[in-house]
Structure 1
Amino acid sequence: MSTLPVDHGHTLYFAEFGNPQGIPLLFMHGGPGSGCNPAQANLLYPEGFRIIQLDQRGCGQSTPSGSIEANTTTDLVADMERLREHLHIKRWAIYGGSWGCVLALEYAKRFPERTLGVLLRGVFLARREDWNWFALPDGVSKQFPAAYQALLASLQIYYHTDPASVLLEHLRTEPKSAYQATLAWDTWEAAIMQTSTPSFNPDPHTWLPRIARIRIYAHYAAQRFFLPSNGVLNGLDKLGDIPVLAVHGRHDQVCRLEGAELLRGYLKSYQLLVVDAGHGIYENNLQQGLRQLAKQFYLQLKR
């Protein structure tokens, strides 16, 4: 467990797992805003990989917690390269889950000569249509109308507007109101992913980490992830023959399967494993698929 100071007062937290002599594999978490979970390293064939988990700016154990200053997609990709240089790694593989897929692909586009391969889980492309599907009235909200209306009411949205911008404004208010806004958003996500609904915790000490996580999320969503309208798709040809393997849930309502399938037309060396699951990494079928693909990925890179 170590830290790496970067610019604008940010200090990044990272930790290593798995085989110290194995193929270096950078682990990019989802969100934006989530932070790393050490247990997830066990899903990535730790027998073969030297797994390096990085908490992105403002996330997890990186500091300052929840800071959105100098916090853009470009900054995060630059941090990945700083960490590679700091660890004196010549080339490494990149794993990305959900939002981490964006960072993995953006890094590989910018530093193809440093990238051995890319492993993806729950493919997110950060296109305008991906956000519109998840957050605006004409997408998945039509399948969960009561939950969506509850979200709009909680955020006091009474007209057609972008929930991300309104959410970000709520997070700038006093802690209790900000915490209630985070619960409203987490409740919406729980409805889509069909997980348990979060409950109000009266202890104010528990509020700040949750607020920090959603502040990062809303910041990126309000800025459409600092990418053009077609998200990560521009420039994928720069990956050339770099292998890209992905596992995706057939029933994923957060990131639709069509996005994962679309990559077939953009990447020369792309393999997609579709499993009977949704989006959550906690789902057994998705975990099994990721374990299977991670071992295959390792064996492919060892050749």
Structure 2
Amino acid sequence: MPDQAMIEEPLRPFDARMLAVGDGHWLYVEEVGRRDGTPALFLHGGPGSGAQHAHRRLFDPSRFHALLFDQRGAGRSHPYLSLTANTTQSLIADIEAIREHFGIERWLVVGGSWGSTLAIAYAEAFPERVNGLVMRAIFLGTHEEVEWAFVEGPKLFRPDLFAEFIALLPEDERSDPLTAYLRRLADPDPAEQAPVAQAWAAYERALSELAPAQTRLTAPVGQSARLPPTPIVEGHYIRNDFFLEPDQLLRDAHRLHGIPGVIVQGRYDLLCPPKSAYALSQAWGNCRLQLIDKAGHAMTEPGVTEALVAAISEVGERR
């Protein structure tokens, strides 16, 4: 078990670089831990949110050589917010490009929310390159999950927040708010795009915690007026069904049978409810599903980060 004191503070990368992956995209990639440690890859959520300092804390620096990168259009990668050649298949190819660039044969892959979607898709495409999976808040990229996360779930459990979310739309569009929001998120006119992007980001943030500090669609104090990136990239992926065939990830879960893993799942995750994690665990078979009581969606929910650190240590020892 790693010494928690070693990973309390975000770790400084021992190296960082921009990596050209084609289609005009340059990815920001950083390395933390030790160069001769167990190779691990972290996949951030969103899509579009970028890797965060807190994600570095998941990896014991005395044991792991962890790579974190900002996916196409996200964070410090260039061009920022680009949707050109920004698909699930492109991101899978980028992961392989990173692996080959660093001369890694096989690695542990870690991801949460959208990062779990990408981790599953990558592992199903290249199972021989993955020696373990640790994932949080499973999202399988289906229309049913999107409708639940943004419409049906909030209607039932956060009706006040849902009412505020649809109030930004003309009355005749409120019966199908998801379509209306997605159309505006794709609008190049800042007057149309910016208000719904800010509302979407605040909505997701409020839905991600079991006991949210923020209960209204207002930006946190001190937040930059810069257009939030996640809604723009996320909207692009939702409009394109995450570039996946219907039920693709569950259909191909048999390809994960040779890969050990752990799923860490908040029992009261409103955005990515346990139904998807349970379905994947049953289809996968070679994994342990750990439900965290009194936890919602966010990695910062009580007990979630601790469970991830322990799971990464556990699966990392099996290489």
How high is the TM-score relative to the length of structure 1? 0.90
Cα distance, 1:245 vs structure 2: 1.1
Structure 1 residue runs of 5 or longer lacking an equivalent are none
SS of residue matched to 1:122? strand
Query: For the Cα contact (< 8 Å) 1:26–1:52, is it kept in 2?
Result: yes
1:147 matched residue in structure 2? 161
CA apart distance, 1:188: 1.7
What CA RMSD, in Å, does the superposition of the two structures yield over aligned residues? 2.3
Residues 9-36 of structure 1, C-alpha deviations (whole Å, 9 max, x = no match): 1111110111221111111000111100
Task: Note the 1:101-250 alignment, pairs <5 A.
Answer: 101-136=116-151, 138-156=152-170, 158-159=172-173, 160-161=175-176, 163=178, 166-193=181-208, 194-196=212-214, 197=216, 199=218, 206-208=225-227, 210=228, 212-250=229-267
Between the aligned residues of both structures, percent identity stands at 33
Of 72-81 and 163-172, deviating more is 163-172
- What residue is the counterpart of 2:55 in the other structure? 40
Change (3 A) 1:152 1:113: same
Q: 2:185·2:196 contact (CA, 8 Å) conserved in 1?
A: yes
CA drift of 1:232 comes to: 1.6
Q: 1:73 to 1:157 in 2, by over 3 A?
A: farther
Instruction: Give the counterpart of 1:287 among 298, 302, 305.
Output: 305
Helix, strand or coil: the match of 2:238? Answer: helix
- TM-superposed CA distance for 1:168, in Å, is 4.4
Q: What is the one-letter code of the residue matched to 1:150?
A: E
The number of equivalent residue pairs is 298
Alignment correspondent of 2:80: 65
Equivalent residue of 1:83, what SS? helix
Answer yes or no: is the 8 Å Cα contact 2:40–2:109 preserved in 1. yes
Structure 2: where are the runs of 5+ without partners?
A: 1-15
Q: Is the 8 A contact 1:164 1:221 kept in 2?
A: no
Whether contact under 8 Å (1:164, 1:219) holds in the other structure is no
1:71 to partner: Cα distance = 0.6
Alpha carbons of structure 1 residues 253 and 17: separation in structure 2 relative to 1, 3 Å: same
Within the candidate set 279, 282, 285, 1:265 is matched to 282
Matched-pair contact (CA < 8 Å) for 2:132–2:316: no
The answer as to whether partners of 2:185 and 2:231 remain within 8 angstroms in 1 is: no
Contact 1:192 1:254 in 2 (8 A): yes
Q: 1:252 maps to what in 2?
A: 269
Task: For residues 144-189 of structure 1, give each alpha carbon's deviation from its aligned partner in whole angstroms, at most 9, with x where no partner exists.
Answer: 2221122122143633335256334345244354322122112322
Q: 1:282 to 1:245 in 2, by over 3 A?
A: same
1:79-118 counterparts in 2 under 5 A?
A: 79-118=94-133
DSSP 3-state at the match of 2:262? strand
